[in-house]
Structure formats: C-alpha cells, structure tokens
Amino acid sequence: MSFMEPFRIKMVEPLALLTMEERIKILEDCGWNPFQVEGRHVTFDLATDSGTGAMSQDQWAAMMQADEGYFSSRSFKKLEDCVKSLTGFHFMLPAHQGRAVEHLLLSILSKPGMTVFSNNLFLTTRGNADLAGLHVVDVPCQGSPDSSFNGDIDCERLKVELEKVGPERAMVVLVVASTSPAGQPVSMANIQDLSTICRSFDVPLIMDGCRYAENAYFIKTRDNEYKNMPCKDIALKMFSYFDHVYVSAKKDGLCNTGGFLATNKEDVYNKASVRMFYTEGYKTYGGLTGRDMESMTIGLREGIDDKFLQYRVESTRMFGDILKKAGVHVIDPIGCGIYINGAKCLPHIPTCQYPAFALHCALYVSGGIRCSQVDDILKLDESNERENPKSQHILRIQIPRRVYTLGHMLHIRDIFKGIIEKRESISGMRVIDFTSSDLSAVLEPLNRKLFSD
C-alpha cells in the first residue's frame, strides 16, 4: 500500500546528538535505567505516544483565540459540541487527561464487592479500579481466526463470569484498541455482541477509547463491511453501543494534554460533575485552560481524518516490517504499537538477567533511543522457561504522532541491526535496588566491558 505523510513540516526541533561515551556515562549516573535519563539526553523518545505528538498550525492558531473564562467559555462550548458530534453522547465533561475521567467514572459506578471485566485493562485503570474497591478480571480472546482483531473480549467466557457474580455486582470496560496484547484492535462484531450481552444482563458497558480512531481505521481496512465508510462514521457507530466512554485525547486527540468523559446517563453526569469540582475543577473546564480545550477540539477532528489515520497506522506497520527485516523479533500482527520480544532478540541472556532491559540499555547507548517495557519485567519469574509468556520480556515502541520522519525510522533500524549483529557483546543485567517499579529501579550490567564494546 502506498501512502505518504498528509502534512509538511513548518517548525523543527534539534535532536540531542550525544556521543556513545557520553550516553554510557549518563546511563551509569542513572543506575542503568533509561527511564531515569533526562529528556534532553534522549535522541529518539519512543516510550509513549501519549501527549508527545506534534500539534498542527490550526491547533496553535486556535490556542491564540482561546477564551479563558471559568464558566461555560467559548472554548468549552466548541469542545462540547465537538465531542457530542464525535461520540453521539448527550453529556460531556473535560479533564486534564484520561486517567482523571476513568477515576471519576469508576468511583461513581463502583459498589462493594463489584467486579470489572475487560479485554485487558491499562495499568492506571487497574490502579483506579483498586482505589474504587473493584475486583479486576480480564477475559481477552485467545486470538481471532485470521488475527485481524486480537483485541476482542471473550464474550462466551464473559457470560459465564457474569452468571457467577450477578449483574448487580459487575461492569465491563472494553479497551479500544487493547494496549496490552501488542496493541491489537477490537472488531465491530465483538463490540456489538458485547453490547447485547451487557444489555441482557443490565450491566454497564464502558469504552476506554484510548485509541478509538486507530481502531476505527483497523475496522475500515480489515472488515469488508466497513471499507467504504469514513472512519468518523465507524467511530460514531462504535460509540453507539456503549453507556459511557472515557478518552485520553493525548493520543488520537493529537494534543499534549486533555481528556473527556461522555455519557447518556444524566445522573452519572451530575455525580461526576460534583466529584470533579473537588479534584479537577468546574465542569466547564475540568482542569484545562481554554487554550488546551481549543487544541483538543481541533485535534479530535484532525485525528479521525482517514488520510491521517492511513499514514499513522500504515507507517507504524511499515516500521515494524523494516525492523523484522533487520532481524528484530517483532510480535505479529502489528497493531497500535511495535512490541519486541527481548528474550528472542538476545537469546544468550537468560531471562533471569532481564534481556529486554539489557536491549533497552543497548538501544540508548548505541542510538539514544528510549522505549518502554510491557508490565514490570523486573518482577517476572526467574524460571528462564522461554515458552512461558511471562519470560518473553517484551519491549514496546510507541511512535509519537507527526514527530519522526522516515529518515529517523531508517536510522533507528540501523541501530537495531547493529545491536542484533553484535548481540553477544551485550551483557545481562542485575537489579541493585527495586522499590516499586521498573521506572525507579537501579541496575547494572553483569559485564560493563562487554556491554560497551
């Protein structure tokens, strides 16, 4: 498939071009943890695509016209109209990011002893569910027959689980697209089946719309029924099957901060408005400036454009294919991100010596590249049984939107290729200090000389 960037560059930012020796010293000072490296010392930051994209000229221009009024500003009304048109919901609340509105919604809907079922909840949602006293049960599908929609929820298993707990003690959150199993999309058929089940059990159905626009594009290109339908219409149809939706606009909304909650339930809207007043702010700004709401309004419109989504999804897939040809063990099918099996990339490193973390350090030393890891790999078992999914040690690449060029991607490919060719010179890692998560851990290579050769 032929495609190109549906934009041209008007403003540029210089890259941080450090020497390998400088990066080694920086990594040593940071406890051999790329998460602790300051942004000014990172050349290619691929750790997340949330809030890290480049905004358009229309977004910047709209910000200059913002109304910073506290009550029902012009900027809020623009955003409200945009979200209602996009989602079809009657009520909308803005917030500074997605986790703020997921916290609001879960805390309002939760009851003692309640269970939240999902295809695969995101880390922050799990935390907010725990704070709300909810029990979390993931019921993901085991993969669609043609691997087109591996983010689907297992509807048959869900029905069994709902029968066990009872409808009054359950809610369902569908992550669209699913972030944990390699960023896989959810099919429209699965959404429809899930909606039927939830309505029959009278169970609230919630969309975590973290990547609703990209999911709409996957439906357009992988389901013939929707191949001639614009992505904005596909998204509207997706939203129609849910009772509530919360969205981080820092992804498909193409802005650096922002999110929203949308619902058709007036009682939920009223309760959320009251609770939000004490945490985010009044319901017509939700912790956002007028400038933020202006950029979100434009970004939501730009992010659902078919040409942009073609560029976004197909360039990610192309980059994954480029890495595979360079010998990198990329997990198929490629979805909303690129997931790399660190244990297979560095097979000489036992999983108890954290090959994905070693690969992450090698990427920073060789090319100033920062990625992220799926879950806390430092907490995984030390069995070194490579058939065990927990021993895969997955490294994730999330590409910021409208930031890096094809030239950058080819350069990153060359860095990966060089690492694969000399992988025997990369040392395993040991944990020196682990307090709460991979983000703050202190490590060191078992053999510094081999690592830096």
Per-residue model confidence as pLDDT tens digits over 81-125: 999 999 999 999 999 999 999 999 999 999 889 999 999 998 888
Q: How confident is the model at residue 1 (pLDDT cuts 50, 70, 90)?
A: low
Both 291 and 317 in one domain: the answer is no
Of 170, 134, 137, 130, which Cα lies nearest the Cα of 153?
Answer: 137
Q: In this structure, is residue 7 part of a structural domain?
A: no
Q: In this structure, is residue 162 part of a structural domain?
A: yes
Both 278 and 419 in one domain: the answer is no
CATH code for the domain of 163: 3.40.640.10
Per-residue model confidence as pLDDT tens digits over 221-265: 999 999 999 999 999 999 999 999 999 999 999 999 999 999 999
Does the pLDDT value for residue 383 go beyond 60? no
SS3 readout for the chain? CCCCCCCCCCCCCCCCCCCHHHHHHHHHHCCCCHHHCCHHHCCEECCCCCCCCCCCHHHHHHHCCCCCCCCCCHHHHHHHHHHHHHHCCCEEEEECCHHHHHHHHHHHHCCCCCEEEECCCCHHHHHHHHHCCCEEEECECCCCCCCCCCCCECHHHHHHHHHHHCHHHEEEEEECCCCCCCCCCCCHHHHHHHHHHHHHHCCCEEEECCCHHHHHHHHHHHCHHHCCCCHHHHHHHHHCCCCEEEEECCCCCCCCCCEEEEECCHHHHHHHHHHHHHHCCCCCCCCCCHHHHHHHHHHHHHHCCHHHHHHHHHHHHHHHHHHHHCCCCECCCCCCCEEEEHHHHCCCCCHHHCHHHHHHHHHHHHHCEECEECCCHHHCCCCCCCCCHHHCCEEEECCCCCCCCHHHHHHHHHHHHHHHHCHHHCCCEEEEECCCCHHHCEEEECCHHHHHC
* Final residue of a structural domain among 281, 303, 325: 303
Beta strand 369-370 pairing with 44-45: parallel
Q: In this structure, is residue 200 part of a structural domain?
A: yes
Rg (CA), the chain: 22
Per-residue model confidence as pLDDT tens digits over 117-154: 999 998 888 888 998 999 999 999 987 667 899 999 99
Q: In this structure, is residue 4 part of a structural domain?
A: no
* Final residue of a structural domain among 254, 273, 303: 303
User: What is the pLDDT of the chain when averaged over all its residues?
Assistant: 92
Both 216 and 334 in one domain: the answer is no
Q: How confident is the model at residue 181 (pLDDT cuts 50, 70, 90)?
A: low
Residue 386's pLDDT is what? 44
Both 273 and 415 in one domain: the answer is no
Percent of the chain beyond pLDDT 70? 94
CATH code for the domain of 381: 3.90.1150.10
Both 31 and 149 in one domain: the answer is no
Q: In this structure, is residue 232 part of a structural domain?
A: yes
Q: In this structure, is residue 439 part of a structural domain?
A: yes
Both 189 and 332 in one domain: the answer is no
Burial of 84 (0-12, 13-18, 19+ CB in 10 A): middle
Both 291 and 388 in one domain: the answer is no
Percent of the chain beyond pLDDT 90? 82
**Global pTM value:** 0.94
Of 367, 373, 368, which Cα lies nearest the Cα of 398?
Answer: 373
Q: How confident is the model at residue 384 (pLDDT cuts 50, 70, 90)?
A: very low
Q: In this structure, is residue 1 part of a structural domain?
A: no
Q: How confident is the model at residue 452 (pLDDT cuts 50, 70, 90)?
A: low
Residue 2's pLDDT is what? 63
Both 299 and 406 in one domain: the answer is no
Both 446 and 332 in one domain: the answer is yes
Per-residue model confidence as pLDDT tens digits over 258-272: 999 999 999 999 999
**Using CA of residue 185, residue 99, residue 251, residue 415, what is the dihedral sign?**
negative
Both 270 and 389 in one domain: the answer is no
Both 86 and 157 in one domain: the answer is yes
Q: In this structure, is residue 11 part of a structural domain?
A: no
Give the mean pLDDT of 281-300: 97
Residue 390's pLDDT is what? 53
Residue 189: cis peptide before it, omega within 30 degrees of 0: no
Does the pLDDT value for residue 380 go beyond 90? no
Q: How many structural domains is the chain composed of?
A: 2
Per-residue model confidence as pLDDT tens digits over 186-224: 999 999 999 999 999 999 999 999 999 999 999 999 999
* Final residue of a structural domain among 303, 331, 353: 303
Q: Which domain holds residue 80?
A: 57-303
Does the pLDDT value for residue 8 go beyond 50? yes
Both 42 and 66 in one domain: the answer is no
Rounded CA separation 105/147 (Å): 32
